[in-house]
């Protein structure tokens, strides 16, 4: 008999959600603007704001990926958000759309933004339109090209925004580049709505694809007057890279699932999970143990929440036991975690959910795990302390008979028959015996009362017909 986890935490209610996660990225700037030599004079840029306790970041020689931002996760299970910024050279800023619906993780902004490299934008960025797909080689985002969406690509454009057409002076020719906080606001204000409209009924608020903003960076903003931004979708991958995929997002399964054995990262500042794969030897929040496809049991309409929950919990328990074998889940002290599928996700075509294991803290955060649960697992730097083994006799207790519901009390004049069994647990194993109350003893019938005298109250005649009383001792009887 396999030991099932004592408590499974479903994540689907979460929420469901649901606000999408938005990530922002810098794209390349103009071929016409020459790159100044590294040691030559350059236009002075305003200092990047530095949070208290931080040191300014030196300009990078090339680009590097940011640490990422996330947003939060599910009703009963904890649904997790997407991370990973897009870049086409220049500043890389990953900014999520902060959502606080059920099952969403709290969003945050990277406290160490990476300065712009001032790279030039390319024609692909300037000519990309709604429905186009962009691809670039690993580690070389400057070489982004528009490709067929049936081929591998890293970004699908939902809408191209020319910010020069927006009212006010914020995007005017002399305006300063937007700050990371403002980029986040633009993403929330413009890209979420653009992606929802672009996807229509195929928009999944808990999709494995995240809403993203792609822009050309500070240098192109200042030198070339570039005010174009691209709203679209990307799939976060390992090492803060974008995972290449084929096909339009609306035409493929958006279920947020990963292969068994995938570990999902954790934000060290907030102790919240981020649904981005990481090496299991690195700090992480959860380890995926399997995938449940609800279409196998529910091929038609969205099942009710209790039906979903029961099927997913049973399937995840079996998959987790098989994944960890011969290790028992209870010895790892981790908890089984799973989401359910919301109506918007179901309508978008998502049918699968991921089973995973992790540990939560008392303050709402998550424990930091190192290594796989199948290996030398560490939880917050310490090996797990398995609970005591369950005694064998507790594992083989006889079934407990179901108890009939208690009957409504009877009228006072009625009594229970002598063999009635009062409701309760007196028949459960090892329970003290309960004495069955007896019926009250029958009472002798009362003597009938004499009828009222007919003479209006005169005493009735003596029972012996009026004969004189017997003589006192020593006296002669009358008439002698």
Whole-angstrom distance, CA of residue 25 vs CA of residue 110:
13
Whole-angstrom distance, CA of residue 379 vs CA of residue 368:
6
Whole-angstrom distance, CA of residue 108 vs CA of residue 476:
128
Residues 335 and 369 in one domain: yes
Please tell me the predicted confidence (pLDDT) of residue 441.
Answer: 44
Question: Is residue 276 in a domain?
Answer: yes
Residues 195 and 214 in one domain: yes
Mean pLDDT by 10 residues, the chain (480 residues): 49 43 45 43 41 42 37 32 32 32 26 32 80 86 86 95 81 84 86 95 94 83 83 87 92 95 94 92 96 95 94 96 95 95 95 96 92 95 87 67 55 45 38 38 48 53 56 55
**Of the residues 251, 274, 298, which one is the last residue of a structural domain?**
251
Please tell me the predicted confidence (pLDDT) of residue 104.
Answer: 25
Domain count, the chain: 2
Whole-angstrom distance, CA of residue 330 vs CA of residue 321:
10
DSSP secondary-structure letter at 294? G
Question: 472: part of which helix (H) or strand (E)?
Answer: none
pLDDT digits (tens, 9 = 90+) for 445-458: 454 455 555 555 55
Please tell me the predicted confidence (pLDDT) of residue 23.
Answer: 47
Question: Is residue 108 in a domain?
Answer: no
Please tell me the predicted confidence (pLDDT) of residue 362.
Answer: 83
Question: Is residue 444 in a domain?
Answer: no
Question: Is residue 23 in a domain?
Answer: no
Question: Is residue 197 in a domain?
Answer: yes
Residues 140 and 174 in one domain: yes
Whole-angstrom distance, CA of residue 433 vs CA of residue 480:
77
Residue span of the structural domain in which 225 resides: 123-251
Question: Is residue 188 in a domain?
Answer: yes
Residue 457's CB is within 10 A of a number of other CB atoms, namely 7
Nearest residue to 358 (alpha-carbon basis) of 423, 451, 248, 280: 280
Residues 239 and 270 in one domain: no
Whole-prediction pTM value? 0.58
């Amino acid at each position: 008999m396999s030991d099932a986890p004592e408590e499974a935490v479903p994540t689907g209610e979460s929420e469901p959600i649901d606000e999408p996660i938005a990530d922002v990225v810098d794209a390349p700037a103009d071929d016409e603007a020459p790159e100044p030599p590294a040691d030559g004079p350059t236009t002075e840029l305003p200092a990047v704001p530095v949070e208290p306790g931080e040191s300014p970041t030196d300009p990078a020689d090339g680009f590097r990926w940011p640490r990422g931002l996330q947003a939060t996760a599910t009703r009963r299970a904890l649904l997790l958000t997407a991370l990973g910024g897009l870049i086409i050279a220049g500043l890389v800023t990953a900014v999520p759309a902060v959502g606080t619906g059920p099952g969403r993780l709290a969003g945050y902004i990277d406290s160490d933004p990476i300065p712009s490299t001032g790279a030039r934008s390319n024609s692909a960025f300037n000519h990309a339109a709604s429905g186009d797909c962009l691809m670039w080689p690993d580690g070389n985002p400057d070489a982004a090209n528009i490709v067929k969406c049936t081929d591998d690509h890293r970004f699908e454009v939902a809408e191209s925004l020319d910010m020069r057409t927006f009212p006010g002076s914020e995007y005017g020719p002399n305006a300063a580049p937007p700050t990371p906080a403002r980029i986040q606001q633009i993403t929330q204000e413009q890209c979420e709505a653009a992606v929802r409209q672009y996807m229509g009924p195929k928009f999944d608020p808990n999709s494995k694809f995240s809403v993203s903003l792609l822009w050309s960076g500070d240098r192109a903003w200042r030198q070339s007057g570039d005010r174009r931004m691209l709203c679209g979708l990307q799939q976060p991958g390992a090492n803060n890279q974008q995972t290449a995929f084929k096909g339009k997002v609306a035409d493929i399964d958006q279920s947020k699932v990963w292969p068994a054995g995938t570990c999902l990262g954790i934000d060290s500042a907030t102790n919240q999970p981020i649904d981005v794969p990481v090496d299991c030897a690195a700090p992480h929040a959860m380890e995926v143990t399997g995938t449940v496809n609800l279409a196998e049991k529910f091929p038609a309409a969205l099942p009710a929440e209790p039906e979903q929950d029961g099927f997913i919990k049973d399937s995840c328990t079996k998959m987790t036991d098989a994944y960890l074998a011969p290790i028992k889940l209870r010895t790892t002290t981790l908890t089984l975690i799973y989401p359910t599928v919301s109506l918007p996700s179901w309508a978008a075509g998502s049918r699968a959910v991921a089973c995973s294991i992790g540990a939560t803290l008392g303050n709402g955060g998550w424990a930091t795990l190192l290594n796989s649960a199948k290996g030398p697992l560490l939880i917050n730097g310490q090996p797990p302390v398995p609970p005591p083994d369950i005694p064998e006799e507790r594992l083989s207790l006889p079934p407990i008979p179901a108890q009939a519901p208690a009957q409504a009390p009877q009228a006072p004049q009625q009594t229970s028959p002598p063999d009635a069994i009062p409701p309760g647990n007196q028949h459960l194993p090892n329970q003290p015996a309960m004495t069955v109350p007896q019926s009250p003893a029958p009472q002798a019938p009362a003597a009938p009362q004499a009828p009222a005298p007919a003479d209006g109250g005169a005493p009735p005649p003596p029972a012996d017909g009026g004969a004189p009383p017997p003589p006192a001792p020593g006296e002669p009887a009358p008439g002698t």
